[in-house]
Amino acid sequence: MKEKIKLEFTQFKLLLRSVPGWLTALFVMSVFAMNILANKSISLPVSWLALDCGIIVSWFAFLAMDTVTRRFGPKGATQLSIVAICFNLLFCLIFFACSKIGGIWGESAVEGSENIINNALDNTIGGTWYVVLGSTVAFVASAVINNFTNWGTGRLFRKKSDGAVAYIVTAYVSTAVAQFADNLIFALIVSLNFFGWTILQCVTCALTGMIAELLFEVVFSFLGYKICQKWKKEGVGKEYLDFVASSKIANAEIKATE
């Protein structure tokens, strides 16, 4: 057991070193930013579509997971997603602490409305426990769904698994399924219990939100494909992939001796 844990930890550290730093940084930032931006709804000309500003960056989180899954596998992408959500929770805690510190926000300097605006800004920055809980559970679940759906769909393309068609199809399918799950889980945890939504409203919101977010994937999926091709050409992550292959052999040997 100790040897297995040691192998897993070594593999995890190697993953963090192997995934390009710029992608990890942007991934973490997008996960945190989409939760902050979700506090602002988007005014739309139709009543049946409900979107928030989190959609502006949420697409990148799923694009990042697709590219990491394609190169490093679903396990690596899921581990990176957990790292991102841990950083998100850390910054949520920091922002919550800052919201409790006495003081005046610069934007609240409006005569007669200082306290109202200041409290509103504190509440926005500090967040609400059930929103943080809902978004965390929803993202972790959708990350697992996205990564393994992407990997599973990719296995259907045996002859041209590295082709553009294979990447685009797997990205569309995994993003659609995972985004729907993400929206639905959040709605069932938060909107249903705290905002008085019905089940139908939760499902409708999840579906329409998924369609809107999928449009971003359609626009940027080719960028993800080119990144994967560049990584493969440059041998990005080769050390990690070689270690994973050797770890499977080592785990099999450990299991045989138990």
Residues 71-107 have pLDDT tens digits of 999 999 999 999 999 999 999 999 999 999 988 888 8
**DSSP H stretches of helix in 100-198:** 114-126, 129-154, 164-186, 192-194
Alpha carbon separation from 55 to 152, 166, 229 (Å, rounded)? 26, 25, 27
Q: For residues 21 and 160, what is the distance between their CA atoms, to the nearest angstrom?
A: 29
Any idea what DSSP says for residue 43? P
> Rounded to whole angstroms, how far apart are CA atoms 122 and 107?
12
CB 92 within 8 A of CB 127: yes
Phi-psi region of 103 (alpha: psi -120 to 50; beta: other; left: phi over 0): left
Structure tokens belonging to residue 32:
């945190």
108 secondary structure, DSSP code: G
Structure token digits, residue 231: 């990584």
CA-closest candidate to residue 31, choices 92, 94, 121, 73: 92
Q: Measured at the alpha carbon of residue 136, what is the angle toward residues 26 and 102, in degrees to the nearest 5?
A: 85
pLDDT at 236: 94
Which pLDDT score is estimated for 140? 95
Alpha-carbon distance of 222 to 171, in angstroms, equals 10
Neighbouring CB atoms inside 10 A of 162's CB total 13
Task: Say what the pLDDT of residue 250 is.
Answer: 52
- pLDDT given for residue 251 in this prediction: 55
User: Which residues of the chain register pLDDT less than 70?
Assistant: 48-49, 248-258
Tell me how far apart the alpha carbons of residues 42 and 52 are, in angstroms, rounded to a whole number: 5
3-state percent breakdown (helix, strand, coil) of the chain, nearest 5: 80, 0, 20
pLDDT of residue 258: 56
Q: Determine the Cα–Cα distance for residues 238 and 243; give it in Å rounded to an integer.
A: 8
Token code pair at residue 127: 């967040």
Torsions phi, psi of 41, nearest 5? Answer: -85, 155
What are the structural domains of the chain? 20-236 (1.10.1760)
Return the ∠ at Cα 143 (arms to 25 and 78), rounded to 5°.
Answer: 65
Calpha distance 205→197 (Å, rounded): 10
